[in-house]
Structure 1
Amino acid sequence: MSTTPGIPSRRGILFGTAAVSAGAFLTACTSNENSDPDGAKEPAAAAEDKPGKPVTIGFAGPQADHGWLNAINQNAKDRAKTYEDVTLEITEGSNDTAQQIGQIETLINKKVDVLVILPADGKALTQVGLKAMRAGIPVVNLDRVFASPQAYRCWIGGDNYGMGLNAGNYIGEQLKGKKNAKVVELAGLDNLELTRQRTQGFDDALKNYPNIKKVARQAAEFTVESGQAKMAQLLQAESSFDALWNHDDDQGVGAERAIKQAGRDEFLMVGGAGSKHAMDAIKAGDSVLKATVLYPPTMAASAIDLARALGQGKGVGGMAEQEIPASITLYSAVVTQDNVDQYLPTGFS
């Protein structure tokens, strides 16, 4: 999707086993008081309730014309509301790089304490990130990475390669006892690095399963309409196969429509991102959709936690360092019927 999760640096550290744990871990960095004179930090839940130095956070993201991006905005807003000491200045959001640059410059001129930016185009917005940093405003770069590490203080985002890798491993384990198994792939926009990373991860995982061959691939556009059209082409081209890896749950809605129209059910489907629709279908267990690989929008809530910590001069709870990390990569957990209840609260519409 032109507005989907972006291009994360591969130098990020693994951060927990799920988005939920990432948020819980980061909230511990917000503690303003210690529970004892020896300096032991209080639990995260207590830390959230104790306001500290007031922090104004500027939040700038692209237009929320996709379910995942809308969830990004909502996660940021909801997280900010949990803190008495946080004021959130949020822009309208735009996919026009010039407009988004203007919105960020307005936040810089307002002298916000910290900026959280999910750029419509990381490369194109690098200069405004540099401008903020040089003005003494630390930047939390959310998901789509800027072209220069000097343009941000901390990057947090998803693992596109890990999405494909975990999808491939899940499918491999389901089909490891089947001879001459065939899989197909419904990718996203091929001009995006994230799509190439998801495909590369998937292909690398399949190398561990010599009984499985990828027989077809179609690139869609991260929309319901494109998902339906491209899935119909895959179904027409392949009379039978054993598994489908779909990069995005929004386009997966269209793919499911095409599958129902074709009356096909001989294969299992694995989605991507973690929408509520996908999780509901997985829980019901009455369709080909058996799993989805997370690209958690809760990263926006964690970005607010990081921004607050930066504004208050704190580190991250549970780590020995005095400063927050430079890079945090979230783990792409596989959601199945066995664990879907754990992840349903993070599902987005």
Structure 2
Amino acid sequence: MKSKVSKTMWLVSALAVMALFLGACGVQLPEQEAADGQQSTAAAGGDLRGKRIALIMEFNTGTFSQQYVQGVEEEVKKFGGTLTKFVADNDKAKMASLVESAVNQHFDAILTDHGDALLEPGLKKAVERGIPVVVFDAAVNVPGATVLSQDDQKMAELTLEQMKKDLNGKGKIVKIWVAGFAPMERRQQSYAKFMEENPGIEEIASFGSAQNPALDTQAKMEAVLKQYPKGEITAVWAAWDEFAKGAARAIQQAGRDEIKVYGIDMSDEDLQMIQDPANPWAASAAVDPTDIGRVQVRYAYQKLHGDEPEANVVLEPVYVHRDSLPDQQISTAELSQYVEGWGQSAQGKKDWMAEYEVSK
């Protein structure tokens, strides 16, 4: 009996050693081949339905953010996934904590909206664990993550050049912006260059806050209007549509129709204001916020499919001026009929994604 047990133990040990040897030489056993086959099928895509997607936002303020979220929701639903949204209420440290939490909850993909370098440790952890990461509008450096951004410098240039044209190169302006946000910092770079090259345009006031931005801007703009009576302000340049809304309301209520507002970003609410001939907001440069959400999701699903998308994706803006719009009120969904390049972006689409569009 003892001899049989010894022989059996010897045979088991020999088989184990053989398996280790074959594995080291790159030879696969049948069980390993089956497991690797399943893994390679998953890497190549397979059925991507049922994925859990986390969207982590620094803030969810204003109609731009609402339409962006709408785009994310629509595209995740198209792929048959489920979306969970987390909002940090303008608290960057809280946002970083939410990213860590999403990693620990084993979401299949993580999307972020705004934020800064505080997100990097959590995003790196996600990448290391094989969780696809797609960042929007944040200056982060995380190898393996895809970062989406609008061409913020171009948007600033488009609005500043139109303002210069309307002012004939001379005038006194108010700038509304706030530091600490990657897109606004990039827009500020174009603004600084523009002001240096156009000495005939003078900045007489500058302010901005990300907390209740439209209401805060309206209150501060009202104070500036009292400080500078009619004829002393020519235009307002706003680095964010929430700022433009607040400034336009203050100017319109004060009856200061000599002042024009030039903004960045676009939502349905913004478009209504720009279309109103009595409103001082004359123009804006923007990317369709709903499209931004859709494109971000597509890149996440590319990664889930096993594709290797580019690390940096730039979304091209368009310029929307009141003169190009119809008399009747329209929404951003109809804007493509009047402004070339608006909406319905195919950016990030792959041929294999057609399967999910048909089965929607």
Displacement over 6 Å in runs of 4+: none
Task: Work out the percentage of aligned pairs sharing the same amino acid.
Answer: 19
Aligned-partner residue type, residue 301 of structure 2: R
1:145 — aligned with what?
139
Correspondence list, 1:1-349, <5 A: 52-54=47-49, 55-84=51-80, 87-95=81-89, 96-119=91-114, 121-146=115-140, 148-150=141-143, 152-176=144-168, 181-192=170-181, 194-206=183-195, 209=198, 212-222=200-210, 223-239=213-229, 240=231, 241-294=233-286, 296-297=288-289, 298-314=291-307, 323-340=308-325, 344-345=332-333
Per-residue deviation, 1:339: 4.1
What's the CA shift for 1:157? 1.7
**SS in structure 2 opposite 1:125?**
helix
Query: 1:57 aligns to what SS in structure 2?
Result: strand
Q: What is the TM-score of this pair, normalised by structure 1?
A: 0.70
- Measured at CA, do residues 160 and 69 of structure 1 come closer, stay the same or move farther in structure 2, by a change above 3 Å? same
**Aligned-pair CA distance for 1:185:** 2.7
- 1:214 and 1:313 mapped to 2: Cα distance? 52
**C-alpha displacement at 1:93, in angstroms?**
1.9
Q: Which amino acid aligns with 1:226?
A: D
Paired AA for residue 154 in structure 1: T
Deviations 1:79-107 (A, max 9, x none): 212223xx133133223445444443343
Counterpart-to-counterpart distance in 2, 1:253 and 1:272: 11
SS at match of 1:131: helix
Note if contact 2:247-2:261 (Cα within 8 Å) is conserved in structure 1. Answer: no
Letter in 2 for 1:327: N
Superposed displacement of residue 327, structure 1: 0.4
CA offset digits 1:257-281 (Å, max 9, x no partner)? 3212322111322122113222112
**What residue is the counterpart of 1:47 in the other structure?**
none
Contact 1:247 1:272 in 2 (8 A): yes
- Where 2:124 maps in the other structure, the secondary structure is helix
* Contact 1:155 1:327 (8 Å CA) reproduced: yes
Shift in Å at residue 311 of structure 1?
A: 0.8
Query: Shift of the alpha carbon at 1:77?
Result: 0.8
Which one scores higher on RCO, CA 8 angstroms, separation ≥ 6?
Answer: 1
- Is the 1:271–1:278 contact (alpha carbons within 8 Å) kept by the matching residues of 2? no
Give the conservation status (yes or no) of the 8 Å contact 2:218–2:249.
Answer: yes
- Cα distance change of structure 1 residues 113 and 273 upon mapping to structure 2, 3 Å threshold: same
What are the ranges of 5 or more consecutive residues in structure 1 without an aligned counterpart?
A: 1-50, 315-322
Task: Name the larger-Rg structure.
Answer: 2
